[in-house]
Amino acid sequence: MENGVYYGDGYSGDGGYMEQEEEWEREGLLDPAWEKQQKKTFTAWCNSHLRKAGTAIENIEDDFRNGLKLMLLLEVISGETLPKPDRGKMRFHKIANVNKALDFIASKGVKLVSIGAEEIVDGNLKMTLGMIWTIILRFAIQDISVEEMTAKEGLLLWCQRKTAPYKNVNVQNFHLSFKDGLAFCALIHRHRPDLIDYSKLSKDNPLENLNTAFDVAEKYLDIPRMLDPDDLQNTAMPDERAVMTYVSSYYHCFSGAQKAETAANRICKVLKVNQENERLMEEYERLASDLLEWIRRTMPWLNSRQTDNSLAGVQKKLEEYRTYRRKHKPPRVEQKAKLETNFNTLQTKLRLSNRPAYMPTEGKTVSDISNAWKGLEKAEKAFEEWLLAETMRLERLEHLAQKFKHKADTHEDWTRGKEEMLQSQDFRQCRLNELKALKKKHEAFESDLAAHQDRVEQIAAIAQELNTLEYHDCMSVNSRCQRICDQWDRLGALTQRRRQALDEAERILEKIDILHLEFAKRAAPFNNWLDGTREDLVDMFIVHTMEEIQGLIQAHDQFKATLGEADKEYNLIVGLVREVEAIVKQHQIPGGLENPYTTLTASDLTRKWSDVRGLVPQRDQTLANELRKQQNNEMLRRQFAEKANAVGPWIERQMDAVTAIGMGLQGSLEDQLHRLREYEQAVYAYKPHIEELEKIHQAVQESMIFENRYTHYTMETLRVGWEQLLTSINRNVNEVENQILTRDSKGITQEQLNEFRSSFNHFDKNRSCRLAPDELKSCLVSLGYSIGKDRQGEMDFQRIMAVVDPNSTGYVTFDAFLDFMTRESTDTDTAEQVIDSFRILASDKPYILPDELRRELPPDQAEYCIQRMPAFKGPGAAPGALDYMSFSTALYGESDL
């Protein structure tokens, strides 16, 4: 305080006691009763100190006139020694002593105005009271300070806080607020509830309240009666100085309790930080366990390759996988992002509160979760690829099985009755021409048999492929194939034996019917051609591309171009039959219409030829339908590609923008957070494009489309990109929020933060958001650190590395760098501060008792300490003593609980 004292409601500067008194008197504010109250209060106040020196005063205006007791009072309250007093009784001796006292007061920075030694020696009551008030202000009130307020304001705020919970107490000043005595009683009860039962007091009994407070204060607190209850009640406005003087005695009496309360508040604040950190750790452990357990349960399903080997079964599994991607996985993606956000927030809070970093239990670190997640995504990709491959394989199996059945049915129809025919002895009753006819007929059959060789081989080849592809009904396929092959071998043997028999009879039968033979020769291959053509026209096919169906259409068009030649051959063969019919009719040859060389007739060929001509347009329609299907597939490819080629670059642009913001290159932290929130909203607004793409992708898969030459994006890459974008936004939002938290809690300015970020980014050349040791050293030098190149400089730098990289990863993140820089320029709570606070609660003992903790701290925090504090093992400890020192260091990671 400079050159002045506090008077009344405020700081008076160069003004004096008398000047203020005169001003109040001019304005009609001076109450005559105030002087009486001040005299009584100031006298009691002086005696409360003089009794320590074994003396007292009775009349304040007389007993200080010689200056001796005035000098003694100053020595007692200041603890200093004043100059030796003059012992003479003359007036000038008294004036000299009073001047020594006034000079001592002035030496304490108090400027006395209008108060002279002569007035004190002459017994001027007003001047004497003004002098004592100046002493009270300087030595009893001036040092009172609450939250950096002035002495009077600080004392008033102290009273307000202490009495706030009490009914009928509202301290607004030092006169009317104390008239009913409840404020005095509340101050005593707040600090010593055992002395007063506040619940029995009434606002309607002010004299009783005042007497109760003054009696208790005098008897139990050693605070003398400085006020008269009757004076306070009979005065419209009690004297403010008198009340302030008395209240200041309460303040000094309870100052020890005030220290204990401050210590308790500091401990509560530290414990709340620890309790909140423990809650976050438990929440992290719970979320991590739940997510890892879900991944553990999901992996066997994704790794399973069990199937019933049917197309329907695999398609059902594919639909289950789509349901998993749409419904079951998205909440887990959000859970993983929340887990990482909570972990970063927890680590930031631990750093800001000067606590050791949190290390999750084994197997539950962020890297463990990340590795498990990567394994899940790898399993998902392999599972989907296997499902699609199985779909293609089983589709081909179904096609091959149908083709096998069709060819086997056709072959078995052809062989029906052939064994009986070959075993027949009909030729032994034939005439010569009939025998020759039978021989020619057998030759035609041999030709037909040879033509069917390819069909048997095709049936066997299809059966072999079905076995290779592990068709589920291979047993019946193999059984049928074996029956066909066995029958084929028997037909070959029977054919050989019958030919030998006919050759034996040929030596006898020679005549041949040339015309019938010509018909047989031409009819047999044409009939085979008709059978093969008909088989080709009804043959089933499977294609996956436009090129394949166009190839089939082109081949069919080439076939149709040969129909003209086939029609000529048909007319020629039918012409042979007509010629035979004309000869038979002309010459009336019995049995001449029967062709001994073939069982084929013109009506057979006509029927088959008509059948072939009817199958051609049907084949046209089948190919046209398949062409439309492939055109639709092509349209789906283009739809997916068009959408994917828009979504993919959009995701990449958003990722680049978010990364740029995360580098801290765009405005203040609030600006960065605002922009990240805008990107977050934009990303969620863009989600319908992803959902639309998923629908197109499902249609593509359901149409059995397995490749797309119009885009290099796949649904899997877009899904991963989308999830990475969401994760990147959440991570950057969390990092910026933590930086804001760091900045605000540590009191660093935005300019400092920008300087730290700019320096960090400058040396982060590859934009990886972390610095190598050499880069960190250069960054620190750029910020003004002097790191020498000698051995001492290297030791200093290694100490810094131990702080910013406690796990020895070989790199430093921006969060760790920022935490280090803020700690370099700001203060944080320490274990020493907490130990000092506990020492106050323990009354300077090296240990603390459970009852002391329960008395000074809230119940939950008291029990928190009692459960965790180790027993005190030093000498002279009371039963149940607890070691608060090791507990405090453990809170900051300097020892183990």
Whether 21 has a pLDDT exceeding 60, the answer reads no
Mean pLDDT value across residues 565-585: 81
Whether 146 has a pLDDT exceeding 70, the answer reads no
What confidence tier does 590 reach under pLDDT thresholds 50, 70, 90?
A: low
Collapsed DSSP state (helix, strand, coil) of residue 882:
strand
What confidence tier does 12 reach under pLDDT thresholds 50, 70, 90?
A: very low
How far apart (Å, rounded) are the C-alpha atoms in residues 110 and 135? 9
pLDDT digits (tens, 9 = 90+) for 451-469: 888 888 888 998 888 888 7
**Chain centre to alpha carbon of residue 444:** 82
Which span out of 198-212, 433-447, 506-520 was modeled with the highest average pLDDT? 198-212
Collapsed DSSP state (helix, strand, coil) of residue 871:
strand
H or E element that contains 892: none
Q: Name the burial class of residue 888, with classes exposed (0-12), middle (13-18) and buried (19+) by CB atoms within 10 angstroms of its CB.
A: buried
Whether 211 has a pLDDT exceeding 90, the answer reads yes
Listed residue (746, 737, 739) closest to 814, CA to CA: 739
pLDDT digits (tens, 9 = 90+) for 266-322: 788 888 888 888 889 999 999 999 999 999 999 998 898 887 777 788 888 888 889
Q: What is the pLDDT of residue 701?
A: 84
Whether 511 has a pLDDT exceeding 70, the answer reads no
Look up residue 430 and give its amino acid.
C
The string of DSSP letters for 567-612 reads HHHHHHHHHHHHHHHHHHHHHT-TTTTS-TT-S--HHHHHHHHHHH
Mean pLDDT value across residues 603-617: 88
Look up residue 196 and give its amino acid.
I
Listed residue (563, 575, 663, 574) closest to 619, CA to CA: 563
Mean pLDDT value across residues 561-584: 83
Q: What is the pLDDT of residue 225?
A: 87
What confidence tier does 826 reach under pLDDT thresholds 50, 70, 90?
A: low
Q: What is the pLDDT of residue 10?
A: 36
Mean pLDDT value across residues 401-422: 86
Tell me the backbone φ, ψ of residue 424, rounded to 5 degrees.
Answer: -70, 150
Share of the chain above pLDDT 70, in %: 90
Q: What is the pLDDT of residue 262?
A: 72
Listed residue (773, 782, 730, 715) closest to 755, CA to CA: 782
Q: Which two tokens stand for residue 58?
A: 């009775």
Q: What is the pLDDT of residue 740?
A: 83
What is the pTM assigned to this prediction?
0.52
Q: What is the pLDDT of residue 589?
A: 52
283 Cβ neighbours under 8 A, 6+ residues apart? 342
Radius of gyration of the chain (CA): 55
**Chain centre to alpha carbon of residue 471:** 47
Q: Where are the beta strands (DSSP E) in 658-745?
A: none
Q: What is the pLDDT of residue 506?
A: 59
Least confident range of 338-347, 481-490, 675-684, 734-743: 734-743
pLDDT digits (tens, 9 = 90+) for 827-869: 556 788 888 888 888 888 889 999 888 878 888 888 999 998 9
- Residue whose tokens read 């030796």: 84
Q: Which two tokens stand for residue 125?
A: 């009551």
Collapsed DSSP state (helix, strand, coil) of residue 556:
helix
How far apart (Å, rounded) are the C-alpha atoms in residues 255 and 274? 29
Q: What is the pLDDT of residue 5?
A: 33
Under DSSP, the state recorded for 2 is -
Mean pLDDT value across residues 759-787: 79
Whether 576 has a pLDDT exceeding 50, the answer reads yes
Neighbouring CB atoms inside 10 A of 644's CB total 22
Whether 493 has a pLDDT exceeding 60, the answer reads yes
Q: Which residue has the higher pLDDT, 700 or 299?
A: 299
The string of DSSP letters for 636-662 reads HHHHHHHHHHHHHHHHHHHHHHHHHHH
3-state percent breakdown (helix, strand, coil) of the chain, nearest 5: 70, 0, 25
Work out whether strand 812-813 and strand 770-771 pair parallel, antiparallel, or are unpaired.
antiparallel
How far apart (Å, rounded) are the C-alpha atoms in residues 764 and 811? 11
Share of the chain above pLDDT 90, in %: 17
What confidence tier does 256 reach under pLDDT thresholds 50, 70, 90?
A: low
What confidence tier does 253 reach under pLDDT thresholds 50, 70, 90?
A: confident
11 contacts 4 by C-beta, under 8 angstroms? yes
Q: Which residue has the higher pLDDT, 220 or 8?
A: 220
H or E element that contains 6: strand 6-7
281 contacts 346 by C-beta, under 8 angstroms? yes
Q: What is the mean pLDDT of the chain?
A: 83
Q: What is the pLDDT of residue 9?
A: 36
119 contacts 14 by C-beta, under 8 angstroms? no
What confidence tier does 330 reach under pLDDT thresholds 50, 70, 90?
A: very high
526 contacts 609 by C-beta, under 8 angstroms? no
Mean pLDDT value across residues 786-811: 81
Start-end of H helices in 511-561: 514-537, 546-560
Q: Which two tokens stand for residue 495?
A: 């054919």
pLDDT digits (tens, 9 = 90+) for 618-647: 888 888 888 888 889 889 889 889 989 999
pLDDT digits (tens, 9 = 90+) for 94-124: 899 999 989 998 888 777 777 888 888 998 9
